[in-house]
Amino acid sequence: MTTDFRATKALFELPEGVTYLDGNSLGPLPKAAPARMARAMTEEWGEMLITGWNKAGWMAQPATLGDRIGRLIGAPEGTTVLGDTLSIKVHQALAAALALRPERKVILTDSGNFPSDIYMAEGLIEQLGRDHELRVVAPEEVEAAIDEDVAVMMITEVDYRTGRRHDMRKLIARAHEAGALAIWDLAHSAGAVDVDVAAADTDFAVGCTYKFLNGGPGAPAFIHVAPRLIDAVRPALSGWLGHDAPFAFEPSYRPGAAIARMRVGTPPVLAMAALDSALDIWDGVEMADLRAASLALSDRFIAGVEAACPGLELATPRDHVRRGSQVSFRHPQGYAVMQALIAQGVIGDFRAPDILRFGITPLYLDETDIDRAVEVMASILRDGSWDRPEFHARAAVT
H helices present in 167-316, as ranges: 168-177, 227-230, 269-282, 287-308
Question: Among 245, 266, 282, where does a domain finish?
Answer: 282
Q: Same domain, yes or no, for 179 and 228?
A: yes
Active site positions, annotated: 114, 185, 210-211, 357
Q: Same domain, yes or no, for 355 and 216?
A: no
Answer yes or no: is 381 within a domain.
yes
What is the structure's pLDDT at 1?
A: 62
Counted domains in the chain: 2
Q: Same domain, yes or no, for 168 and 308?
A: no
What whole-number distance in Å separates Cα of residue 364 and Cα of residue 219?
A: 20
pTM passes above 0.75: yes
CATH value at residue 68: 3.40.640.10
Q: Strands across the sheet with 313-314, in order?
A: 313-314, 326-330, 355-359, 349-351
Answer yes or no: is 398 within a domain.
no
Q: Same domain, yes or no, for 235 and 185?
A: yes
Asked if residue 338 lies in contact with residue 344, where contact means CB atoms within 8 angstroms, the answer is no
Q: Same domain, yes or no, for 278 and 321?
A: no
Three-state secondary structure call for residue 287: helix
Q: Same domain, yes or no, for 238 and 325?
A: no
Question: Among 282, 302, 318, where does a domain finish?
Answer: 282
What is the structure's pLDDT at 200?
A: 98
Q: Same domain, yes or no, for 276 and 294?
A: no
Q: What are the CA-CA distances from residue 19 to residues 100, 285, 341, 343 (Å)?
A: 47, 22, 10, 11
Three-state secondary structure call for residue 322: helix
Q: Same domain, yes or no, for 68 and 41?
A: yes
Q: Same domain, yes or no, for 229 and 333?
A: no
Burial (CB count <10 Å: 0-12, 13-18, 19+), residue 33: buried
Residues of the chain with pLDDT under 50: none
Q: Domain range for residue 336?
A: 5-31+286-392
Q: Same domain, yes or no, for 15 and 48?
A: no
Q: Same domain, yes or no, for 205 and 74?
A: yes
pLDDT, tens only, 16-35: 999 999 999 999 999 999 99
What is the structure's pLDDT at 161?
A: 96
Answer yes or no: is 397 within a domain.
no
Question: Among 231, 262, 282, where does a domain finish?
Answer: 282
Q: Same domain, yes or no, for 58 and 187?
A: yes
Answer yes or no: is 203 within a domain.
yes
